[in-house]
Amino acid sequence: MGKGKKHRGEHEEHANHERWLVSYADMMTLLMVLFIVLFAVSQVDQKKFNELREGMAAGFGQQPSPFQGDQSVLAEAGIAPMAPVRPGADTTQADRVSMGQGEDDAAAEEARRYAEARAEVARLERLRKRVHDALAAHGLAKDVSMRIDERGLRISLVSRHIVFRADVADLSPRGIRVLDTMSPVLLDLPNQIEVAGHTNQVQVKPKFYPTDWELSSARAVTVLRHLNEQGGVPADHMMAAAYGHEQPLIDPSKPGSQAMNKRVDIVVLSTARDDVRGLFAEVLRDQSRTS
């Protein structure tokens, strides 16, 4: 009977389901301490920073730490607490120096580009004089019109003696003389040359060509071939272009404009960069004011 008796007073052990609260509380405490530290550090106030340093040093039993002593990490060269950023604060001296240097660099770059533009315009002016002197030696200087624009030196065959007859693309004898005189000057240039054909603004269908485009193209090719085949100008330095009546040299409403606008332009293309060529007009204006 003794074996069959149940022991009174012995109870089944129950699991403790609330132990997670201890771990959770510890984690929350650590997070709170972390945020307090971060908040204290973010407020870069020397007095509070010193208090934090002393408090943490005491909490760690006066053990050496990065916050303790004059030889701390923060005292090393090149390392310092970040200064607070105040809304609306003025730029620092370093910022002003940096901004000033940026403005100086921009001004220096602009001056450099202007100097390059002046040098290129001077080179094109020397080329223009060479062409003029060669033509003047044969009494042909008035048969062309020359100007410098953002593309380079533009030599327009505009004389009434050399313009193409209506509806045709054949060179006149005087036109051949002009090209033969200019060819030696153009022969050794490193520049690319665009030969551009133009028609006048008379709204009449060309007799031998479908439109003005074909007529202006044929005139450009005629001049290009003569420069290459008779003048020896390298073919790989030239290209033909056709503009029809879209780019008149002078206002079509002015008397005599038709003869002037019916032309071929020989454009010696500048080798300068686009941003430098964009300053050609300014350089030419400055030169005209000082001349």
Cα separations in angstroms, 262 against 70, 133, 163, 276: 88, 25, 7, 31
Provide mean pLDDT across the span 198-219. 83
**pLDDT value of residue 40:** 67
Lowest mean pLDDT among 9-18, 39-48, 77-86, 170-179: 77-86
pLDDT at 65 over 70: no
Residue 75 token pair: 């005292």
**pLDDT value of residue 10:** 53
pLDDT at 79 over 60: no
At 2-15, the pLDDT tens digits run 454 445 555 555 55
At 214-259, the pLDDT tens digits run 988 999 999 999 999 999 999 999 999 999 888 887 777 777 666 6
Residue 197 token pair: 């054909």
pLDDT at 73 over 60: no
Domain ranges of the chain: 20-75, 104-290
Lowest mean pLDDT among 143-147, 180-184, 206-210: 206-210
Count CB neighbours of 57 within 10 A: 16
Q: Name 197's bridge partners.
A: 242, 264
266 phi and psi angles, rounded to 5 deg: -105, 110
pLDDT at 282 over 70: yes
**pLDDT value of residue 134:** 97
At 251-276, the pLDDT tens digits run 777 776 666 777 899 999 999 999 99
Average pLDDT, the chain: 79
At 91-119, the pLDDT tens digits run 556 565 566 666 778 888 999 999 999 99
The CATH classification number of 104-290 equals 3.30.1330.60
Is 167:211 a contact under the CB 8 Å cutoff?
A: no
- For residue 48, what pLDDT band results from cuts at 50, 70 and 90? low
